[in-house]
Structure 1
C-alpha cells in the first residue's frame, strides 16, 4: 500500500511537470500531448499496482474471499434455521390448540393425537437447538444467537416441565408396582402384617381356600363398614335439618310386607328417631345393597357362569377376592373405573342416594352427575360409600366361592325373636332379650352356611303392643 501511494504521488508530479513545460494553448495538439503523457503515466501506475497485488496481496485476497464465502454460507444457514424455528413454533401452537379443544367435549383419541403432535414439535425444537449450538460453536453472529435464545427459551422450559412430570409418573408407576407385588404376595400366601383393623385373624390374610370361618369374618367387616357409613349419612341429615322421625317412619313403612302392613305392632317414632334412628337408616342402606345378592352379578347382566361352569367360577371368584382384598377401592377404580365392581358402585349409589337427598345434603347434584358420567367422586362421603360397597362385594365373591353357597335369609317385621337366627342391634341390660320382643324391622340379613353354622340376622326389636 505504501508503494502504491508513492507511485501515485510520482504520477501527480509528472503530470504537473508536463503541464509546466507545455502550457495550455488554443491549439488542440498541445492539449493532446498532455493527455498522452497523463495516459501513459496512469497506465504505468495501473500496471505497477497489478504487479504489486500479484506479488504481495494474493494470499490476503484469497483469505478475504474465503471469509466472505464462509460468512455468506453461515448467514444462509442461520436464516434457514430461524425459519424452521418459527415454523415449528407455529405448528406447536396449532397442536396445543387442538389439545385444548379435545378436552371439551372430552375426546381421548383427539387428545392422544394432539399430545403426540405437541411432543413431536418439542422434539423438533430440540433438534433445532442442537443445530443452533453447533452453529454457535462455528462462529454465528451474536445478534442471531440472542434472538434464537429468546425464541427457544419458553420451549426449553416446557421440555423441562415435561421431564419433571415424567419423573412423577415414574414414581407413581413404581408405587403401583409395589402394591401389585403386595397383592401377588398375599395371593400366594405370603406374610403381611397390620393390613386389617378389624377382628380378622391371620387365617384370613393367608387364606388359600374359602371356608365358612372366612365368610363370617368378612361379614363382620361388612357390619363395621355399614355402621360407619350410616353414622356419616345420619350426621349429614341432621346438619341439613332433616325430619329424622319422618325418615324413620318412611323406612319402617318400606320394610312392611302385605301380610304385616295391617298389624298393629309399630315402633314409637319418637324413640326410634331420638335414640335408634341409625338402625333404621342402616336397614335402608343394607336392604338396597343386598338386593340381587343371590345373583352372580347382582342382576347387572344375564351371566350364568356359576351354573354353566360352577367349579371354574368358584375358583375365579376366590381369586378375585384375594386380589381385591388388599387394595383400596379408590385405587382399584382409578385403574378400572368400569369394571364389574365399578358398575356395582354406580348402580347402588344411584339406588341409595336419591337426587333430592343429595341436593339436600350437599347443595347440588355434582356427585350424582359424576357417577352418571361413569366417574367416581373423590369426596369423603363417596369414600365411605366405597368402603361399604367393597365389603359387600367381597362378601358376595366369597359366597360364590363356597360349595355349597350360603343361603340368605331375613327376619320379617313382626316375627318372633329367635336367638339362634337373630341378634338385636340394641343391647339390653344383662345381655338377655326380654320376653315379648318382636322384630320391629330387619337391619341386615343372615346366612346359613354349608357347615351348619349360622350368621345371625341383625334386627331392631320392639315390644309387642
Structure 2
C-alpha cells in the first residue's frame, strides 16, 4: 500500500508538471489548443490511474481463473480440442500433456486467452476501423469513465437476470465477439457449463474495464506486446518462471502470457515465459516435456 501511495504521489507531481508545461506551451504557441478541448484535471488523472492499475491486476487474475477452468474442462472436451490447443502452441515449440504438469498447460492457455481478449485493444470498442461516436476527446473520456463506474459493479447474478445488453450494448457486443473467437480458437462448440460461463464473464468484464479506463484519458494509455524470440528485458518484462529457474538466465521470450502498458513515464510489465541460458551459455530445456517452462506454485499467484 505504501508503495502504491508513493507511485501515486509521483504520478500526481508528474501530471502537475505536465499540465503546467502544456499550458505554457499553449500560451506561447501560435497553434493554440482550441478552447473546446480542455486538459484533464490532475484529480481526474489520479482518479483514473489508481483503478486502472487495479483493473489490470484483476484482468490478469480473471483470465488466469478462466484458463484454470478450461484446463479442467479439457479432459471432457474430447481429443479434437486437445489437438487444437497443441496445434496453437506449435509455433512456440511447446508440447502439452494432460497427465503431466497441468499447471504449465494453464499458463499456456492463459497466453492464448490473453492474446484473444486483448486483440485490437487499441481500437474503438476493440474493432479495427470503428468510428468514434463521440468526437470531442474530453467528452469521450468522461463517457468512458462513466461507463466504468457503472459496469465495475456489475455482478454475474445481474447478468443472469437481465443479460449484458441491458447494462451496456457495447460490452454485450464485446462479450459476444470474444466468446465466438475463443470457441473458434478452441474448436469446441458444446454448451459451456455455468461455472465456465461465469469465469468467461469475469474475464470479459475485467478486460473491458481496462479498456474503458485506458481510454478515459487523452491520449489513451498504450498497450504493448512482445513476440517470441525477443531478447528478455527486465525493465518491460516479468519472467513468470524466474522463481523456479534462479540459477538460469532468461535469454529470449518463449511466449507472452499477458500484455503490458505504458503509464505516464512508468510501465506495467508484460508477463512472459522464457528460454533460459545455463552457466555454459546453452539453452535449457526439459527432456520430458520439450519447451514447457516449469513453474513453482508461488509463481501462479502473480
- TM-score, normalised to structure 1, is 0.45
Higher strand share: 2
Q: Distance in 2 between matches of 1:366 and 1:269?
A: 25
Cα distance per residue 1:233-277 (max 9 Å; x no partner): 0010024454898555423345x6xxxxxxxxx446569963511
How far is 1:332 from its partner?
4.5
Relative to 1, partners in 2 of residues 1:273 and 1:457: Cα closer, same or farther, differing over 3 Å? farther
Matching of residues 97-246 of structure 1 within 5 Å: 210-240=47-77, 242=79, 246=83
Relative to 1, partners in 2 of residues 1:273 and 1:345: Cα closer, same or farther, differing over 3 Å? farther
The secondary structure found in structure 1 opposite 2:147 is helix
1:292 is matched with 120
Query: In the alignment, which of 289, 309, 316 is matched to residue 143 of structure 2?
Result: 316
1:459 and 2:272 correspond: yes
Higher helix share: 1
Relative to 1, partners in 2 of residues 1:356 and 1:390: Cα closer, same or farther, differing over 3 Å? closer
Q: Decide which structure has the larger Cα Rg and report it.
A: 1
1:380 is matched with 195
2:248 is matched with 434
The CA RMSD measured in Å over matched residues stands at 3.3
How far is 1:215 from its partner?
1.3
The secondary structure found in structure 2 opposite 1:276 is helix
What are structure 1's unaligned runs of at least 5 residues?
1-199, 257-265, 360-364, 368-377
- TM-score, normalised to structure 2, is 0.67
1:302 and 2:130 correspond: yes
Q: Distance in 1 between matches of 2:156 and 2:128?
A: 19
User: Does 1 or 2 have the higher relative contact order (CA < 8 Å, sep 6+)?
Assistant: 2
Q: Distance in 2 between matches of 1:271 and 1:427?
A: 24
Query: In the alignment, which of 340, 349, 352 is matched to residue 179 of structure 2?
Result: 349
Q: Distance in 2 between matches of 1:251 and 1:225?
A: 22
Q: Distance in 2 between matches of 1:271 and 1:415?
A: 29
Q: Distance in 1 between matches of 2:252 and 2:83?
A: 22
